[in-house]
Structure 1
């Protein structure tokens, strides 16, 4: 049986390995869980209570339990341009006993009302998108004034390595550095300070040796500012409307 068509003309289909990896223990516990906990630490204060929370590019729904644990949303939404992934997300929500409203749409054309979301979670999705500027404008549109974008991305320094290009599939012409993503967020109108940004240097993000030499004590990890960042996490805010 053939899979249903993607809901975006510019969708870049993942490899079989990549699709499998998105349900693996490594993805759920060493990537998703770690990123969500780190993003929570980047808030200046408390996040919105009982928020309407959107997972943009929810994939197979493996974020749902972590988002529910950390943010306790009153309403959890998920959107993805792959109908097969959405079906797996629905099954995951049912398995967890969580109510999740799923919608099929491209991130560049979200099927949500203006100013309807308190927190928008975009984790390892943006580097898959071809229409990045339109997607970011859509994120800004659907967030309420004062709402938060939780943005967690791998950078070009990681995506453009032989092992990642061999195992996964990405639109290479849109990949950006950490600073490139930060500039894009600022250009859209989001606000944040250095306090709201982190540059995780996790073992799986070091494509040359996956941090093996450092784990063996044969090399010390270079500090921030002396390395090419492979990951960037940001809690960015849509400004409040002027009184």
Structure 2
């Protein structure tokens, strides 16, 4: 298969199938979007152009449409098979979506043309992360919002994820590493715009089973290696 990115790391069959499941849509996507809405605060941005960078199989479209009611929804992915499934998902949900086969490091959209850019669990798949972030900055309008939700190296490098999924391991970052990269690009956010969820599915060693069974207390923030980072950032109006 020919991908739109020369550095694309092909997912395993199991990983690809997982992204179509109710577990992914309900426990991962829905939870992340709800958290990002909270981090944005009221009023939520509505209308305008929303870009889903790394849209995968389109399971985010219904949730994004409900949350932000964009006038124009664009889905971008480097995998043609994922885009075909995204198209079918949009038709099934009755949502108008423009689909682009592209690399996040080379986005075929004009400068300052996007109001909200949603990037969920995409960055740990990207080899050219700094270039992709620069592209996000370029296509966002001044005052535009970046909704960034990512797994950290602590999770991606865990035995269960390495066993069942495939990622470019040399580019994985900690939560602090991702926050530093966003700030270095120029994105603005405060502590109130950042969360470090420690959800059951992100527990690197045991999916939180020992804690749910009462055999171990969950480590408090500051005493654990964070596995997720969510950020509602903005491109300054005067960049």
Residues 30-69 of structure 1 mapped to structure 2, 5 A cutoff: 30-69=27-66
After superposition, the C-alpha distances for 1:170-189 in whole angstroms (9 at most, x for unaligned) are 00000000000000000000
Residue 132 (structure 2) pairs with residue 135 (structure 1): yes
> Is contact 2:204-2:227 (8 Å) kept?
no
Residues 67-216 of structure 1 mapped to structure 2, 5 A cutoff: 67-216=64-213
Gaps of 5+ in 1: none
TM superposition shift of 1:43: 1.0
Q: What is the rounded CA distance, in whole Å, between the counterparts of 1:131 and 1:184 in structure 2?
A: 13
TM superposition shift of 1:88: 0.5
Q: What is the rounded CA distance, in whole Å, between the counterparts of 1:238 and 1:46 in structure 2?
A: 17
After superposition, the C-alpha distances for 1:153-180 in whole angstroms (9 at most, x for unaligned) are 0000000111100100000000000000
Residues 6-17 of structure 1 mapped to structure 2, 5 A cutoff: 6-17=3-14
Gaps of 5+ in 2: none
TM superposition shift of 1:197: 0.2
Query: TM-score, length-normalised on structure 2?
Result: 0.98
Query: TM-score, length-normalised on structure 1?
Result: 0.96
> Is contact 2:142-2:236 (8 Å) kept?
yes
TM superposition shift of 1:44: 3.8
TM superposition shift of 1:50: 1.1
Q: Give the paired residue count.
A: 239
TM superposition shift of 1:25: 1.1
Q: What is the rounded CA distance, in whole Å, between the counterparts of 1:37 and 1:120 in structure 2?
A: 15
Q: What is the rounded CA distance, in whole Å, between the counterparts of 2:212 and 2:160 in structure 1?
A: 20
Structure 1 stretches (4+) deviating beyond 3 angstroms?
Answer: none
Q: What is the rounded CA distance, in whole Å, between the counterparts of 2:70 and 2:101 in structure 1?
A: 20
Q: What is the rounded CA distance, in whole Å, between the counterparts of 1:214 and 1:87 in structure 2?
A: 40
